[in-house]
Amino acid sequence: MLIKRGPNGIDLPYASEITPRHVFESRRRFVQQLALGTIAGGALLEMATREAFAQGAQKLAAKPNPAFVVMDKPTSYKDATTYNNFYEFGTDKSDPARYAGSLKPRPWTIAIEGEVNKPMTLDIDSLMKLAPLEERIYRLRCVEGWSMVVPWVGFSLSELIKKVEPTGNAKFVEFVTLADKAQMPGLSSPVLKWPYVEGLRMDEANHPLTLLTVGMYGEVLPNQNGAPVRIVVPWKYGFKSAKSIVKIRFTSSQPKTAWNVSAPSEYGFYSNVNPDVDHPRWSQASERRIGEDGLFAKKRKTLMFNGYSEVASLYTGMDLKKQF
């Protein structure tokens, strides 16, 4: 990512001191409370400030899924929709909220193709009906050293994968996102090779945590967060979570992903959140929670796989320092 340098020449992620903050309570206890009804998913969402909520966005009926809820306080809607990375609209954090109004999320089609027996092209409304929508509260950790907690709406990507019947040659899934100069002013800048492409290995794509995402905070996705459909892969750095997807391609070889192509020594294909593997230009041991930890506050400790330890078995036998 483009990281701005502070006046002393230090990368800004270093600007605040690193001290672990042990605020992560037991996920299990939280889920138990949810199951008992002591905490309602809806009440949790009320904890998020909602200043920008009344934009008249379409509401989505989604059932909270307590198996996929972190106990951390959700980030406010305002922060989650005004501090974004979406380089198609500019590289400043405020650019997507400012400029993504030109994105037209409807009508929208998404093509699912490649190594599948049943390729299909779906319009966004049909895609949203493929499986029941769930609300899941995930942490998202950006490679730049900040994180958020967002109530997303969608369903496991595996639901879609089942429907297209991948062939035996399908080893990876590639996500190709919209690149339309007429809608996306940032495309005139060569900051990345467009379109923005991301990818996952098949077992990662099929992991139930991997969320095909169509909404957040109970409404359709705002443009700046990747309308009308994106992926959210919560155990990986945020750049793996491609926004505004137009094509999902099943491939036999590893996709060439945008960040990996532009800076292979800095952004690997896997990009699992890993406090033990530094980015070449900064530490990944800690993070700043947007809206909670001020720029000069002490940062909180980053957890292996962003706390999603259930994915560890996907990487058995791999050297995660080499395959970062």
- Single out the residue of 65, 76, 82, 84 in contact with ligand MTE (rule: CB under 6 A): 84
Q: How far is the CB of 192 from ligand MTE (least distance, A)?
A: 7
Query: In 10 A of CB 122, how many CB atoms?
Result: 18
CB of 142 to ligand MTE, least distance (A): 4
> Interface residues for ligand MTE in 249-308 (CB under 6 A)?
none
**Contact between 196 and ligand MTE (CB under 6 A)?**
yes
Residue 238 binding ligand MTE, by CB under 6 A: yes
Applying the rule CB under 6 A, the residues between 45 and 74 that interact with ligand MTE are none
Shortest approach of ligand MTE to residue 150 CB, angstroms? Answer: 7
* Residue 13 binding ligand MTE, by CB under 6 A: no
Residues recorded for the chain: 324
Residue 82 as a binder of ligand MTE (CB under 6 A): the answer is no
CB of 309 to ligand MTE, least distance (A): 21
87 lies in the binding site for ligand MTE (CB under 6 A): yes
Question: What string of H, E and C letters represents the secondary structure of the chain?
Answer: CCCCECCCCCEHHHCCCECCCCCCCCHHHHHHHHHHCCCCHHHHHHCCCCHHHCCCCCECCCEEEEEEECCCCCCCHHHHHHCCCCHHHCCCCCHHHHHHHHCCCCCCEEEEEECECCCEEEEHHHHHCCCCCEEEEEEEECCCCEEEEEEEEEEEHHHHHHHHCECCCCCEEEEEECCCCCCCHHHHCCCCCCCCEEEEEHHHHCCCCCEEEEEECCEECCHHHCCCCEEECCCECHHHCCCCEEEEEEECCCCCCHHHHHCCCCCCCCCECCCCCCECCECCCEEEECCCCCCCCCEEECCHHHHCHHHHHHHCCCCCCCCC
Told to check if 95 binds ligand MTE by CB under 6 A, we report no
List binders of ligand MTE among 154-183 (CB under 6 A).
177
Which of 103, 142, 200, 248 binds ligand MTE (CB under 6 A)? It is 142
Minimal distance, residue 286 CB to ligand MTE, in Å: 16
How many binding residues for ligand MTE (CB under 6 A)? 18
- Report in angstroms how near the CB of residue 240 gets to ligand MTE at its nearest: 7
Q: Segment near ligand MTE (CB under 6 A), from 38-46, 79-87, 115-123, 129-137?
A: 79-87
Nearer to ligand MTE, 106 or 162 (CB): 106
What residues line the site for ligand MTE (CB under 6 A)? 1, 84-88, 140, 142, 148, 177, 196, 225, 238-239, 241-244
